Amino acid sequence: MSKESRGNENSKNEQLEQFRVKDEGEKLTTNQGLKMAEDEFSLKAGERGPTLMEDFHFREKMTHFDHERIPERAVHARGFAAHGEFEVYQSMKKYTKAGFLQDPSVKTPVFVRFSTVAGSRGSAETVRDARGFATKFYTQEGNYDLVGNNIPVFFIQDAIKFPDLVHAIKPEPHNEMPQAATAHDTFWDFVANNQESAHMVMWAKSDRAIPRSFRMMEGFGVHTFRFVNDKGEAHFVKFHWKPVLGVHSLVWDEAQKIAGKDPDFHRRDLWESIEQGNYPEYELGVQLLKEEDEFKFDFDILDPTKLWPEEDVPVMLIGKMTLNRNVDNVFAETEQAAFHPGHVVPGIDFSNDPLLQGRLFSYTDTQLTRLGGPNFHELPINRPVCPFHNNQRDGFGRQTINRGQVSYHKNSLAANTPAPTPEAEGGYAHYQEKVDGRKVRARSESFKDHFSQATMFWNSMSEPEKQHIIQAFTFELGKVNSKSVRQQVIDMFANVNLELAATVADAIGADAPQGGGSKITKSSPALSQVNTAKKPDTRKVGVIIGHHYEGDDVTSVLDKLKKAGIQPEIISDKLGMIKGSKGKELEVKHTFLTADSVLFDAIYAVGGSGGSKSFEKEAISFIEEAFAHYKPIGATEEAKQWLEASDAIDSPGIVVGKATGEFAKKFVDAVAAHRHWDRQLT
Ligand code: HDE
């Protein structure tokens, strides 16, 4: 890599370029570069005879194939990633000396992997789960990984309980069911018997756990970290990613159906958005706290089951990340990427959060099995863009050819190099926090309130969001076989909110809670998705139109939708071109067979069935489903009859009218609103 290519947003891309290979148009060879005359038939003793041991080509090809699979991640196995860049808005020098947070003119390359947590690598993407949001910044001071989730708190307070949690969440060991779901006995048994999980369970049963898109969810560093400036002064910091498109979710019925109709729904959405140039953007936010304010809260800032309410500690937006390039090869990049919360740069340090402390061990350890040895940092996707030198040597798959005689420290033969860099010159030195304590296996008293913030979360929800949480508990506990576990969960969540616990108890045949209730009245408006950004950009509208369409010229409406950033896609009974009455042609993208209402953000019903009953049946079923999922629906006067047949008339988010500019404007607004929760469903 040339020196000039360092220190710009392309530096990672240029580094990867050295490893890219184009096979198209080339001659087929063995891995030794030998051109082969034949690749279809193994070498045999006679045309009908046995295959010969001598067939090195067969052996090499088959051996490689036999070893193609590697272990999937123990958690977060199902993921998808993209490249991009990050820029800071203004220098953060006052708080941190981190090089990539100093200069707004510098763009730092990033690689972001989004994931579900519980499911295996081939599982569906719209399941109810937390989402991983792991970012690797390729900075000039080394790789910095912000390995976060889309939920700001965690189930447990101490890393030693992580194996227990994961064993309880994963499919049950005796029959390996259910896949990618928490709706089973062992998960809820864990919850009821580890009540520190209450707050995260509230989030995981909320709309946050069924995001509409990776592009429409927040990310959180979860733990309290430290920013340290060049004077050695520290601030506690919490990291946030705020999606520019706002935070939006699916509804549960829709999420389940998408899991079957398109298990790749989230990766497809990310991939297509980037291919179309609709680059996902997230602002980086920080909440900062002076060291002396550590004990000013009614919770412990080291407790990962607690968040810092944004109304109490405002989020300062300090930069923006743009994802602008898809990977070339999912295995080489996404699957082999190795994130680690311990990958830090000068100016970023840890806190004593016991969950974070344990994570600092686990991530490198797990790669040793997953990526087959200690040299995974040499894989192209994991290499820093700055030089790296030390005395580590050998191991499986070593690629670097370290020259010279010396591989130890201290030495005189190489003038004691590679040499450490003093802190004043940019070497990493740990923040010198004073620690004094007895060795104990214990939980701090200050970690013992498990319910106040869970109640604050509940209090912060809008009425529809509360209903969704009730429905999620009812669904999940409805799948739990053990009556005892169900009752334990009801009794536990009575401590969060009595109405929640009593309503769910009634629905699942459990006893109403005997005690409980909460005195907490605090709410945090920032936690509700009602208060998020609402934009029409990149929303997909399914346009139902038949080959007999004879009405107004709808192309002007479609053009206006596109101008607003919306993506109309034509659905009909057959593929091909549709000729509108004014002679304009529209290309059909999906048929009723290949598309489904749940795959769109909104429906625009145009008409043109030509009286075909089966066409109308399909159109009505699309509309009925969109209506039940609170989606915006637009219709021409001709298609109004389909709405009437679906009872989807005169409701919020329904826009009917001639294909005019006024109609387009109203429909764009309805699409931007995402869902119309005040719709009456009868
Ligand atoms: Fe992870 N986690 N985790 N985790 N985690 C892994 O590392 C672990 C936790 C998160 O896209 C594993 O490389 C422990 C919190 C993400 O490659 C493993 C504990 C948060 C990803 C691991 C936690 C996360 C992982 C599995 C409790 C949010 C996917 C494969 C102490 C802040 C990264 C791997 C990617 C992956 C351990 C808890 C986020 C086993 C021990 C809290 C986004 O090492």
Chunked mean pLDDT (size 10), the chain, 682 residues: 59 97 98 97 98 98 98 98 98 98 97 98 98 98 98 98 98 98 98 98 98 98 98 98 98 98 98 98 98 97 98 98 98 98 98 98 97 98 98 97 97 98 97 95 97 98 97 98 98 98 98 96 98 97 93 90 98 91 84 98 95 96 97 96 89 94 97 94 64
Residue 3 is predicted with a pLDDT of 41
Q: Contact, 606 vs 638, CB < 8 A? A: yes
Asked if residue 636 belongs to a domain, the reply is yes
Q: What angle do CA 26, 28, 34 make, to 5 degrees?
A: 115
How many angstroms separate the CA atoms of 8 and 109, rounded?
A: 7
What residue numbers bound the domain in which 657 lies? 534-672
Residue nearest to atom 31 of ligand 1 (CA): 159
How many angstroms separate the CA atoms of 562 and 564, rounded?
A: 5
Q: What angle do CA 343, 351, 296 make, to 5 degrees?
A: 150
Q: What angle do CA 647, 649, 655 make, to 5 degrees?
A: 145
Final residue in a domain of this structure, among 378, 397, 417: 378
Residue 581 is predicted with a pLDDT of 64
One domain for residues 359 and 217: yes
Q: What's the gap between Cα 56 and its chain centre?
A: 44
* Alpha helices per DSSP H over 211-286: 252-261, 265-275
Residue 80, SS3? strand
Bridge partners (DSSP) of residue 579 are 585
Query: Quick one: which H or E segment has residue 555?
Result: helix 555-563
132: left (phi over 0), alpha (psi -120 to 50) or beta: beta
Asked if residue 263 belongs to a domain, the reply is yes
Euclidean distance between the first and final Cα of the chain, in Å? Answer: 64
One domain for residues 358 and 471: no
One domain for residues 523 and 589: no
Cα distances (Å, whole numbers) of residue 198 to 158, 160, 451, 455, 655:
15, 18, 6, 9, 41
Residue 551, SS3? coil
Split into its structural domains, the chain has a count of 3
Is the whole model's pTM more than 0.90, yes or no? yes
- Tell how far the Cα of 360 is from the centroid of ligand 1, in angstroms: 10
How many angstroms separate the CA atoms of 488 and 188, rounded?
A: 9
The answer on whether 73 is annotated among ligand-binding residues is: yes
Q: Is the ipTM of this complex over 0.90?
A: yes
Bridge partners (DSSP) of residue 228 are 234
Q: 530: Cβ–Cβ under 8 A, 6 or more apart, which residues? A: 462, 465
What is the CATH number for 635?
3.40.50.880
Residue 5 is predicted with a pLDDT of 45
- Tokens 């990977």 identify what position? 327
- Other beta carbons within 10 Å of 368: 13
One domain for residues 522 and 578: no
Residue 115 CA: nearest ligand 1 atom is 11
One domain for residues 212 and 242: yes
Residue 1 is predicted with a pLDDT of 41
Asked if residue 67 belongs to a domain, the reply is no
Final residue in a domain of this structure, among 320, 352, 378: 378
Residue 665 is predicted with a pLDDT of 97
Helices 483-493 and 498-508 cross at an angle (nearest 10°) of: 160
Q: Of 171, 180, 330, nearest to 263 (Cα)?
A: 180
**Ligand 1 pocket, Cβ-based, cut-off 6 angstroms:** 73-76, 79, 113, 115, 132, 134, 147-149, 154, 159, 162, 222, 337, 339, 355, 358-359, 362-363, 366
One domain for residues 464 and 538: no
Asked if residue 69 belongs to a domain, the reply is no
How many angstroms separate the CA atoms of 437 and 160, rounded?
A: 19
Asked if residue 587 belongs to a domain, the reply is yes
One domain for residues 275 and 241: yes
Asked if residue 555 belongs to a domain, the reply is yes
Residue 491, SS3? helix
One domain for residues 589 and 526: no
User: Could you tell me whether strands 79-88 and 576-579 are parallel, antiparallel, or unpaired per DSSP bridges?
Assistant: unpaired
Q: 40: Cβ–Cβ under 8 A, 6 or more apart, which residues? A: none
Residue 156 CA: nearest ligand 1 atom is 27
Residue 163 CA: nearest ligand 1 atom is 41
